[in-house]
């Protein structure tokens, strides 16, 4: 099963455009993305800037970032961009008045889709490549079923919407420990890359962003949703192995399978596997 997708820049044109784009997707699917940057779908002036930010995945947002009166305008702007550029698209949630038109757009363009309020596996199965955004209590409880859908490449966590449903503060991590762990376990069980954590809403608090990334990584997440280009590099750096982790992993791999201890700690097959994963082997 595909681990994720990484899409940046314009797609090629001409007779072989589709096949070239597919080859690019296949080559990059094994590289788990860490930075997912939202850009409002009704701000086409920002689309190119979002791509230039270096985010692994740019998400043109037709949902929360767009007011109801501007949905059709935003969809037209996204459709125009997708004629020459590549990006993922967050559509409006199933059951909303805009879902069908949004679904038609992403299906026709063949682009990855971020489905908000993901709860029903059958809905996700209708798309080719899906990031399932789990942000409701029902979605959390269905995480295993969602992750098992063949078209789902990754789970993502929507902490802000879940906070509203639960009546808790979105910036407090404690109420979401169960939900986050549920996504991590469901992703591993389905053979997906580690899930993507939710947004840090305070754009001015660099320390908070760093702390959120550390916490998410400690729980087993492998990426984060970003709402501003300035968050991209700190998030990428936060999810990268530290020099100490890399050095430890090198020592373990260099020692080989026949050595039982490294730095005084036991080394067995799972430890060796973790070291290789840190090194990207």
> Binding-site residues for Mg(2+), please?
135, 161
Tokens (6 digits) for 269: 């097959």
In this structure, what DSSP letter does residue 242 have? P
Structure tokens at 135: 């942000």
3-state secondary structure of 36: strand
Q: Residue 236: phi, psi to the nearest 5?
A: -60, -45
Other Cβ atoms less than 10 A from the Cβ of 128: the count is: 13
Cα 155 from Cα 265, distance rounded (Å): 33
Task: Tell me how crowded residue 68 is: count the other CB atoms within 10 A of its CB.
Answer: 10
In angstroms, the first-to-last Cα distance of the chain is 18
Q: Which residue ranges make up the annotated binding site for substrate? A: 90, 135
List, as residue ranges, the binding site: 90, 135, 161
Radius of gyration of the chain from Cα atoms? 19
Q: Measuring CA to CA, which residue among 83, 125, 122, 123 is closest to residue 105?
A: 83
């Amino acid at each position: 099963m595909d681990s994720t997708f990484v899409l940046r820049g314009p797609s090629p044109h001409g007779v072989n455009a589709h096949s070239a784009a597919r080859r690019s997707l296949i080559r990059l699917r094994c590289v788990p993305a860490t930075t997912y940057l939202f850009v409002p779908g009704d701000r086409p002036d920002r689309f190119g800037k979002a791509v230039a930010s270096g985010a692994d995945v740019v998400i043109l947002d037709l949902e929360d970032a767009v007011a109801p009166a501007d949905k059709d305008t935003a969809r037209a702007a996204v459709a125009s961009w997708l004629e020459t550029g590549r990006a993922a698209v967050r559509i409006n949630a199933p059951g909303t008045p805009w879902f069908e038109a949004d679904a038609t757009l992403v299906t026709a363009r063949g682009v990855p889709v971020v489905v908000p309020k993901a709860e029903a596996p059958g809905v996700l199965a209708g798309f080719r490549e899906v990031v399932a955004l789990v942000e409701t209590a029902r979605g959390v409880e269905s995480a295993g079923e969602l992750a098992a859908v063949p078209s789902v490449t990754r789970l993502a966590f929507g902490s802000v919407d879940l906070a509203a449903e639960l009546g808790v503060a979105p910036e407090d991590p404690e109420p979401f420990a169960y939900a986050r762990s549920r996504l991590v376990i469901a992703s591993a069980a389905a053979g997906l890359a580690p899930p993507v954590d939710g947004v840090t809403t305070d754009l001015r608090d660099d320390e908070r962003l760093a702390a959120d990334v550390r916490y998410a990584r400690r729980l087993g997440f492998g990426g984060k949703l970003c709402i501003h280009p300035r968050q991209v590099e700190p998030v990428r750096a936060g999810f990268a192995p530290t020099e100490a982790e890399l050095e430890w992993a090198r020592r373990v791999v260099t020692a080989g399978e026949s050595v039982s201890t490294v730095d005084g700690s036991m080394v067995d097959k799972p430890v060796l596997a973790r070291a290789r994963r840190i090194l990207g082997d």
